[in-house]
């Protein structure tokens, strides 16, 4: 049986039309796309798109193996086992992508030769492109083949949140989404590190996007915090603007 390796940036629609007899598709959460340099929203997009594409492959009748981030160390063994006696492996061309070196190392470690397939004309499949759009839920609704898009995103939120708490991945510092505005306000008040403050802003954005919090709820929490700690009004407004961002802050003020 030949093995077709797919990474998060290779979810091409053309794959769904390949002959599925004697082909095992190996979907890999690689160290680049699921590494510590990726933001929470990027991780959510990669996870949701891969899980959705996996289901499409299964519906089309492909045999699919999915390797999560925690299993990446065992990927050479998994690949050799799937390839079996035929030792036939294929993948789409990676070109100068940062992942190319890791891919070559994987093949060397596995002692397998790989047939490089030409990249389809459209770099990302329609499914992947839609999942990568900022308006994640809204864009998926326009694709009826996904069925219920929320479940892919909800699962991804839970999965990426779990990556913070495991020792098998370097992703240790990613706030994803919060339903408690008080926790976010406390983080923002005590955090001075610029990188950490940007992560707090991303967490606020995702919390608002997921409907877990509202700008009004955050404003109310900031006001309560300010009253309790006797924080000057101008300082409260600076904190609120930092949390919401300029656009949401302006809309909130107009709504008042």
Q: What is the mean pLDDT of residues 38-59?
A: 80
Weakest mean pLDDT among 40-44, 90-94, 130-134, 236-240: 130-134
How many other C-beta atoms are found inside a 10 Å radius of the C-beta of residue 209? 16
Work out the pLDDT band at 183, boundaries 50, 70, 90.
confident
Q: Which of 42-51, 71-80, 149-158 has the highest mean pLDDT?
A: 71-80
Name the residue with higher pLDDT: 45 or 130: 45
Can you spell out the DSSP letters for the chain? -EEEEE-TT---GGGGGS--TTEEEEEE--TTTTSTTS-HHHHHHHHHHHHHHHHHHHHTT-EEEEE-GGGGGGHHHHHHHHHTTT-EEEEE--TT-TTHHHHHHHHHHHT-EEEEEPPPSSSS-HHHHHHHSSSHHHHHHT-GGGS-HHHHHHHHHHHHHHHTT-TTSS--------S-HHHHHHHHHH---HHHHHHHHHHHHHHHHTTS--HHHHHHHHHHHHHHHT--HHHHHHHHHHHHHHHHHHHHHHH-
Q: Are 44 and 36 in contact (CB under 8 A)?
A: no
The first and second tokens of residue 206, run together, are 């995702």
Does the pLDDT of residue 165 top 90, yes or no?
no
pLDDT the model gives residue 223:
93
pLDDT in tens, 138-161: 444 334 444 555 667 677 777 776
Work out the pLDDT band at 209, boundaries 50, 70, 90.
low
Name the residue with higher pLDDT: 46 or 152: 46
Does the pLDDT of residue 190 top 50, yes or no?
yes
Work out the pLDDT band at 127, boundaries 50, 70, 90.
very low
Q: What is the mean pLDDT of residues 58-78?
A: 90
pLDDT > 70 in the chain, percent: 77
Name the residue with higher pLDDT: 211 or 104: 104
Q: Which of 164-173, 206-215, 229-238 has the highest mean pLDDT?
A: 229-238
Q: What is the mean pLDDT of residues 87-95?
A: 84
Task: Look at residues 21, 7, 118, 24 and name the one whose alpha carbon lies nearest to residue 72.
Answer: 7
- The pTM score is 0.59
Work out the pLDDT band at 132, boundaries 50, 70, 90.
very low
């Amino acid at each position: 049986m030949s093995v077709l390796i797919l990474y998060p940036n290779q979810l091409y629609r053309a794959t769904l039309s390949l002959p599925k007899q004697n082909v095992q598709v190996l979907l890999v959460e690689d160290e680049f796309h699921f590494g510590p340099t990726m933001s929470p929203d990027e991780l959510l997009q990669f996870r949701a798109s891969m899980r959705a594409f996996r289901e499409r492959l299964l519906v089309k009748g492909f045999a699919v193996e999915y390797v999560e981030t925690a299993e990446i160390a065992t990927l050479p063994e998994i690949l050799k086992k799937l390839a079996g006696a035929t030792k036939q492996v294929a993948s789409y061309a990676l070109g100068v992508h940062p992942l190319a070196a890791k891919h070559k190392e994987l093949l060397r470690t596995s002692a397998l030769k790989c047939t490089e397939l030409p990249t389809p004309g459209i770099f990302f499949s329609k499914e992947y492109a839609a999942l990568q759009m900022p308006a994640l839920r809204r864009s998926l609704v326009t694709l009826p083949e996904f069925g219920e898009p929320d479940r892919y995103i909800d699962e991804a939120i839970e999965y990426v949140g779990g990556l913070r708490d495991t020792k098998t991945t370097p992703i240790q510092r990613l706030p994803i989404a919060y339903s408690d505005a008080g926790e976010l306000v406390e983080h923002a008040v005590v955090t001075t590190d610029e990188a950490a403050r940007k992560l707090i802003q991303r967490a606020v954005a995702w919390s608002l996007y997921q409907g877990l919090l509202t700008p009004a709820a955050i404003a109310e929490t900031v006001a309560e915090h300010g009253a309790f700690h006797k924080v000057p009004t101008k300082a409260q407004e600076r904190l609120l603007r930092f949390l919401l961002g300029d656009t949401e802050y302006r809309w909130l003020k107009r709504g008042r």
